[in-house]
Amino acid sequence: MDLSQEGLTPSWHEWRDAPAADFAVIGDPIAHSLSPRMHQAAYAALGLDHRYVALRVAPGEVAAALAHLAKLGYQGVNVTVPHKGEAFETMRSIEEPARRTQAVNTVRLPDLVGTNTDGAGFLDTIEDLRLPRKFAAVILGAGGSARSVVLALAENGHDVRLYNRTKARAIELVETLGVPIEVLDHPDPTGAHLIVNATSAGLHGAELPIAWSGARSDAVAYDLVYGPQQSPFLAAAQRHGLRVVDGLPLLAAQGARSLEWWLGVTAPRQAMLECLRWVQ
Ligand code: NDP
């Protein structure tokens, strides 16, 4: 479904024109963010009178934007592409998952405390996939989100292998996180119960050179990217009979964890996920 159809375009603002609100997501581009829809659905379910908006912040302007939003009385901000690293540099205080991944996706204002809910949110989303208690995973990508996923899986004792187009970045990721995982020369899914695409290849319509015929028939292919069209990665996995998961459950889970961190209440996870499914 085209989100720009009447009534489905989430509103957004330049950060300098930020309206009176309580929470926001910042990124660039930000026009198609589903976070306002999702958080507003959560506030409605909780009976809260909060407002959540999407704001465009250009690279290099994260510190200025956060200072401005704090002055306007905003209580918190989600951070998305490409600002998670810049937000990390801007914080006064950092909580543990963000310290190790060096990427902040959730900020509390006005005190500039940063955390990262991507890894824990990812673990939430694999709970219902009926994977073995300890499983083998292949992660594709070495950007900020791959770092969160690799750390979350490795810390939980799963067998993680990592592939990235630029191998040096994968090696650097492993060294930065200090986790004992193997770096692959090819995106080889052989033996993996879970294959996670944490690259942005699908956003550009690019195919990853994965030999799907070597994958386990009961494996799950999981793409962090979401959108109205199935990604080339998930489409190829489905053609080979694998179960597939897109990035919407992760969007909902990381958002739910942000909301819980800010407000200290249990997030209405079903309402947050359902409002996203309805968009699709
Ligand atoms: P980064 O920009 O930090 O990393 C991008 C990664 O993609 C790099 O590893 C890069 O490889 C790889 N890549 C890009 N293009 C190609 C290509 N054509 N072929 C192979 N590899 C490619 O992005 P993030 O880690 O922040 O995010 C990755 C994706 O995950 C994004 O699309 C983002 O929207 C999505 N995401 C979704 C979330 C959700 O809530 N569902 C949460 C977080 C992220 P190289 O190093 O070689 O350049």
Distance of CA 89 to the CA centre of its chain: 19
Compute, in angstroms, the gap from residue 144 CA to the centroid of ligand 1. Answer: 8
pLDDT interval class at 278 (50, 70, 90):
low
Q: Above 70 in pLDDT, residue 76? A: yes
Cβ pair 191, 216 in contact under 8 A: yes
**What is the distance between the alpha carbons of residues 176 and 180, in angstroms, rounded to a whole number?**
11
User: Omega of the bond prior to 110 within 30 degrees of 0, cis?
Assistant: yes
pLDDT in tens, 183-241: 999 999 999 999 999 999 877 778 899 999 999 999 999 999 998 889 999 999 999 99
State residue 5's pLDDT score: 43
Pocket of ligand 1 contains residue 165 by CB under 6 Å: yes
pLDDT in tens, 25-73: 999 999 989 999 999 999 999 999 999 999 999 999 999 999 999 999 9
Compute, in angstroms, the gap from residue 247 CA to the centroid of ligand 1. Answer: 12
Angle between helices 248-263 and 118-126 (to 10 degrees): 120
**What is the distance between the alpha carbons of residues 85 and 63, in angstroms, rounded to a whole number?**
12
205-232 residues labelled b (16+ CB within 10 A) or e (exposed): eeebebebeebeeebbbbbbbbeeebbb
Q: Which of 73, 56, 44 is nearest to 11 (CA)?
A: 56
The residue from 71, 84, 134, 167 that is catalytic is 84
Residues 6 or more apart from 174 whose CB is under 8 A from it? 150, 162, 181, 183
Number of H helices, E strands in the chain: 10, 13
Given ligand 1 and candidates 199, 229, 244, 257, which is best to mutate, with the most ligand atoms within 8 Å of its CB?
199
Q: Above 80 in pLDDT, residue 279? A: no
pLDDT in tens, 138-158: 999 999 899 999 999 999 999
**What is the distance between the alpha carbons of residues 116 and 42, in angstroms, rounded to a whole number?**
20
Q: Confirm whether 134 is a catalytic residue.
A: no
Compute, in angstroms, the gap from residue 134 CA to the centroid of ligand 1. Answer: 26
Question: Quick one: which H or E segment has residue 183?
Answer: strand 182-183
State residue 202's pLDDT score: 79
State residue 126's pLDDT score: 98
Distance of CA 66 to the CA centre of its chain: 20
Cβ pair 197, 223 in contact under 8 A: yes
Angle between helices 269-279 and 35-46 (to 10 degrees): 140
Percentage above 90 pLDDT, the chain: 89
Question: Quick one: which H or E segment has residue 139?
Answer: strand 136-140
**β-pair partners for 52:** 23
> What is the rounded average pLDDT of the residues 156-161?
97
Compute, in angstroms, the gap from residue 139 CA to the centroid of ligand 1. Answer: 11
Residues 6 or more apart from 56 whose CB is under 8 A from it? 12, 13, 14, 15, 26, 27, 28, 29, 30, 31
Sort strands 52-56 and 93-94 into parallel, antiparallel or unpaired.
unpaired
Residues 6 or more apart from 6 whose CB is under 8 A from it? none
Pocket of ligand 1 contains residue 113 by CB under 6 Å: no
> What is the rounded average pLDDT of the residues 245-271?
97
Three-class SS state of 113:
strand
Pocket of ligand 1 contains residue 231 by CB under 6 Å: no
Task: Answer whether 0.85 is exceeded by the pTM.
Answer: yes
Cβ pair 114, 98 in contact under 8 A: yes
Atom 43 in ligand 1: which residue has the minimum CA distance?
A: 145
Atom 18 in ligand 1: which residue has the minimum CA distance?
A: 201
